Amino acid sequence: MRGPVGVPRLRDAATGLMLPAWVVESRQTISRREETAVRSERGQASAVEQRPAAQLDEREEDVARELTNAGGPDTASASACNHLLFVASPDGYRVIERGGALPGERSELQLELGDDDRRYVVSRIGRSPIPHDERPCAFLEPAA
């Protein structure tokens, strides 16, 4: 089938058919736009994936310094507020709410969990593992 006389025709790369030029050009334009959109999405995804985990560690260290900064304006409020203890034990993990001063990093605590009385070491200070909870958290591990 030939179509109307005088309408330029091009071979469509995808189908191999001779089609009106405007159809082939429209398909090529759409294809280029799709390729551009895909490249843009890939670029955005790779930028997020390339964000180093070290940035998160640095932020946690900054929070820990702010919370344990002696003489700073936040010291009084940090020592008076509640905090959490994230306790690693052979039975699993526990989150315990406590009042008073936040223990310092590498300090030792004696905790009685059920029938078990153990010593723990603060491995790091960070944010609460509970979503939308602004309280600081001391992450504990069993003492050696």
Please report, for the domain that includes residue 106, its CATH number: 3.10.20
Find the range with the poorest average confidence among 12-16, 107-111, 114-118. 12-16
Give residue 4's pLDDT: 57
Smallest CA-to-CA distance from 78 within 61, 62, 66, 95 is with 66
Mean pLDDT of 60-70: 66
Looking at the structure of the chain, the number of domains it has is: 2
Cβ burial of 118 (10 Å; 0-12, 13-18, 19+) is middle
Q: How confident is the model at residue 61 (pLDDT cuts 50, 70, 90)?
A: confident
Same domain? 83 vs 33: no
- The answer as to whether 111 is a domain residue is yes
Whether the pTM exceeds 0.75: the reply is: no
Mean pLDDT of 39-57: 65
Same domain? 101 vs 123: yes
pLDDT of 136 over the 80 cut: yes
Query: How many helices (H) and strands (E) are present in the chain, helices listed first?
Result: 3, 7
Give residue 73's pLDDT: 43
Same domain? 60 vs 45: no
Same domain? 25 vs 72: no
Same domain? 45 vs 76: no
Q: How far apart are the first and last CA of the chain?
A: 86
Find the range with the poorest average confidence among 16-20, 76-80, 96-100. 76-80
- The answer as to whether 2 is a domain residue is no
Same domain? 68 vs 42: no
Length of the chain, please? 144
Token pair 């799709």 is found at 34
- CA–CA dist 81, 144 (Å, integer): 30
- The answer as to whether 1 is a domain residue is no
Query: What is the domain range of residue 94?
Result: 53-142
Average pLDDT, the chain: 76
Instruction: Using DSSP, state whether 93 is helix, strand or coil.
Output: strand
Same domain? 58 vs 126: yes
Select the highest-mean-pLDDT range: 1-10, 36-45, 76-85, 98-107.
98-107
